[in-house]
Structure 1
Amino acid sequence: MGHPVDVGAVIRGARCSARLTQAQLGSRCGYSASAISRIESNRLRPDYQSMVRLASVLGIGLDQLNGSGVPEGAVVATVALRSSDEEDAVRRRELLAKALAAGTTALVGAGPASASAATDNPAPGLEDVLFRLPAVEPVPLTLLTERTAAARRAFRAARYADLEGALPGLLAAAESTRDAVTGRARQQACALLARAYVVASELAAKQHSDAAWVAADRALTAARASGMPVPIGEASRVLAITMRRSGRPLSAVRLLSREADNLDSTEADAGAVRTTLLLTAAYSAATGGERTTALSLLDEAQEDVERLPEVPELFTVDATRAQVDVYRIGALTALGTPDEGVKVVAGLNIAHLPTAERRARAWTDAARMWHTLGDGPRTFAALRRVEAEASQEVRRPALRALTSDLLYGPTRVRGLREFAVRTGALAV
């Protein structure tokens, strides 16, 4: 007898290969995105007719879905799926009403209290909302600039729940404004729209949401329409991140290298964006096992940083020597040589990184390094620093998985169970 089929994994793999979001697959099959999500996580088992429909839409053989394999211990329901257009319409209306009500207030007025009110998923509903933005009137470019800057501040402060609440309204306003203006004003509106989608893609990527693909693609389309090199570079970077996350790291390297070559390294903003492209390319190469390429790109980024006449503030990631070190730690761990990153961590003053999101990312890379080295106490210490910097960051799926792995590892770490419960890695 052969091994049982992991139906959820097969469907998710085929969907990702077809570059479909859960919402898109659900729409083509007449199902809700939430139903597709439950199928892929093996919490819902479709009946035979539903299997036939899914296989047809995904272009795979029905034999690939035959079997009853689900992860051991999984709780599933076996049902015939039915179209839930009415349910989805109600849900979208509720999401859009919430987004419009939040508006800029969610970003500008948010403080520590709202930041601490973290949800399990800082971007619930974003995938649905991207396909049906609310209808809003155009706004003056000055106001659109302010709202886009507020979104940037929320991301850099790791206030993800606040950002998720305001993004639909911001994106809708940017789309409407872009369509209402011409000439130079349209170029500026396109650049702002691109940056709004960049931050949407960054947010979705943190949750491994398929919305990252959609937002990144729209960001690059808007950026190219602006004709401005910096937004084009920023959008190319988030698109490459989605490519890497979907299992195409070397394609991401090629995209980033090509876009980096199009930027003038002697001009401050363009040179800084070029550096961030090289850093993302280096990490992508490392995840693809290309050690020589990864280290060469890191060295090139470091040389670029040292040549920059100043350190301009970019939209989500700054080009600094400290950022080069953070990416080097992540790349060395991905390459399977985390011991080489220990010295880098020792020489890095994470407290001097400019934003909460970047400090949390640095501690995350340190935690992964220590975990790969088998040092449970230091892994947990780094995770605690992530929580101290950004409470919503530590609830990301990747961080929960790392916490869970540490919890069930061979080393008992004092306080880890309480941390796992607090951050959602362990249900009680």
Structure 2
Amino acid sequence: MRRRNLLLMLGVAAAAPLAIPPASAASPAQSGSVDPADSLVGLLYTPPAPVSGISLPQLDRLLAATRAHFTASRYRDLGAALPGLIATAEAHRDSSNGDARERAHALTARGYVLATELAAKHHSDLAWATADRAVQAAHHSGDPVAVGEAVRVLAITMRRAGRPAAAVALLERTAHDLDAHGPAARAVAASLWMTAAYTAACAHDAGTAHDLLAGAAEAVDRLPAGLPQRQLFTVGATQAQVDLYRVGVHTVLGEPDRAVPYAKRINPAALPTTERQARWGTDTARMWMRLGDQQRTLAALQFVDRVAPEEARRPALQALTSELLYTAMPAPGVRDFARRTGVLA
């Protein structure tokens, strides 16, 4: 039964890979009742049995379908899909050799990259374990793109654990290494420069943060036009993404007024995924909050809730909602929003 259901899922993914239901279809009750990262505990310590009879091309399509849960901010669905996907990829890795084994390592690494993204979004310490497994599998794959993806999520985990300087050094070293491996690897390197800039900003190193953002913009400019976006990126390499990181960097550095022009020139509807659109809403909400504009802060949070309800119920967004709720003169409508998103009972 499990194999039949998985094959049906693969068939749907192959037939209509872009038919992703809108994230706003999830109800508030469904979105916030369970921590999606909880499913990763069993993956790490008592992994499920792999599904037999799944070929590597089928597994590749299943990975793409699982990634679609992430890009659409469907985190409960992502948490439910990851254990079986990763267990099956690891089974392929353990039973293969040569090119097939390297390919299975790359699929395993990307599964753990998604697991780390999920754990990080929900402030779970499991991110350390999943990031380590992602990096180990990526190195065994020999795929520089997979290595870059895995290093990025490891660095995010390091930053959250209070090791920003080491994270920046790791990101810079890896980005330089990727520059020699072709356009796809250079696109990943550009995303590493962006992450390094934000990480430096979190360490209050303004000079390094701005230099790294300039490097990210230059790296994006050097990419060939029409670079295929089929690779498993969780952050794309575009100038709009650089602008989005500028918003976050300026806000974290305590200069949110400098972030406003970048926030305003981004068209969130033109961002490629729901997850990135929600990130724009999150970063602009933080920016307006630092500027003392409560009404615009609430409007940005409401935007997040419209496009990606599960994002609005993440710990970081609930903390921002709570901060807005308990200001001296809360914006009209914030109490209703707090109830809707689970901040108030």
Please indicate, yes or no, whether the TM-score normalized by the shorter chain is above 0.5: yes
2:118 and 2:100 map into 1 onto residues whose CA distance is 27
- Alignment counterpart, residue 118 of structure 1, candidates 1, 26, 31: 31
Instruction: Tell me the CA shift for residue 140 of structure 1.
Output: 0.9
| Residues 281, 297 of structure 1: 8 Å contact kept | yes
Q: Which stretches of structure 1, 4 residues or more, deviate above 6 A after TM superposition?
A: 99-102, 104-107
Contact kept in structure 2, 1:312 and 1:318, CA below 8 Å? no
1:412 CA displacement: 2.3
1:302 aligns with: 217
Give the match for residue 16 of structure 2: none
Q: Distance in 2 between matches of 1:396 and 1:184?
A: 39
Question: 219, 228, 238: which is aligned to 2:134?
Answer: 219
Preserved CA contact (<8 Å) 2:39 2:80: no
Q: Which residue of 2 aligns with 1:424?
A: 342
Structure 1: segments with no counterpart, 5+ residues: 1-96
Contact 1:367 1:378 in 2 (8 A): yes
1:366 aligns with 2:284: yes
Deviation at 1:114, TM superposition (A): 6.7
* Count, aligned residues: 330
- Determine if contact 2:251/2:287 at 8 Å carries over to the other structure: yes
- Structure 2 counterpart of 1:6: none
TM-superposed CA distance for 1:124, in Å, is: 2.6
Matched, 1:404 2:312: no
Q: Distance in 2 between matches of 1:417 and 1:100?
A: 46
Distance in 2 (CA, whole Å) between partners of 1:425 and 1:106 is 35
Ranked by relative contact order (alpha carbons within 8 Å, sequence separation 6 or more), the top structure is: 2
- The reply to whether residue 209 of structure 1 matches residue 107 of structure 2 is no
Corresponding residue number in structure 2 for 1:312: 228
Q: Is the 8 A contact 2:32 2:341 kept in 1?
A: no
Partner of 1:387: 305
Query: 2:9 touches 2:62 (CA, 8 Å); kept in 1?
Result: no
2:188 is aligned with 1:273: yes
Higher fraction of helix: 2
Q: 2: CA distance between counterparts of 1:104 and 1:217?
A: 30
TM-score under structure 1 normalisation?
Answer: 0.73
Assess if the C-alpha contact under 8 Å between 2:175 and 2:192 holds in 1.
Answer: yes
Report deviation, 1:101: 10
CA deviations 1:74-118 (Å, max 9, x no partner) are xxxxxxxxxxxxxxxxxxxxxxx9x99985778968845873331
Look up the equivalent residue of 1:151 and give its one-letter code.
T
Q: Deviations over 1:19-48 (max 9, x none)?
A: xxxxxxxxxxxxxxxxxxxxxxxxxxxxxx
Q: Cα deviation per residue 1:164-204 (whole Å; 9 max; x = unaligned)?
A: 11111001101111111110011111001100100010011
Q: Over alpha carbons, which structure has the higher Rg?
A: 1
Shift of 1:389: 1.3
Change (3 A) 1:391 1:105: farther
Distance of 2:330 and 2:75 partners within structure 1: 32
Q: Shift of the alpha carbon at 1:266?
A: 7.6
Identity in percent:
52
- Over aligned residues, Cα RMSD in angstroms? 2.1
Q: Is the 8 A contact 1:190 1:225 kept in 2?
A: yes
Residue 150 (structure 1) shift: 0.7
Rounded to whole Å, the distance in 1 between the matches of 2:162 and 2:8 is 38
Contact 1:115-1:162 at 8 Å conserved across structures: no
Q: Is the contact made by 1:287 and 1:335 (CA closer than 8 Å) also made in structure 2?
A: yes
Give the CA deviation at 1:305: 0.8
Compared CA separation, residues 160 and 118, structure 1 to 2 (3 A) = same
CA contact (8 A) 1:240 1:252 kept: yes
Alpha-carbon distance in 2 for matches of 1:165, 1:385:
26
1:334 and 2:248 matched: no
TM-score w.r.t. the length of structure 2 is 0.90
What is the distance in 2 between the residues matched to 1:341 and 1:216? 30
Q: Equivalents in 2 of 1:215, 1:104: separation in Å? A: 26
- Cα 1:101–1:335 shift into 2, 3 Å: farther
Closer/same/farther in 2, CA of residues 379 and 114 from structure 1, 3 Å limit: closer
- Cα distance in structure 2, aligned partners of 1:405 and 1:333: 16
For the pair 1:134 / 2:48, whether they are aligned, the reply is yes
**One-letter amino acid of the structure 2 residue matched with residue 213 of structure 1:** W
Deviates more, 1:406-415 or 1:121-130: 121-130
Q: Aligned partners of 2:265, 2:175: CA distance in 1, in Å?
A: 28
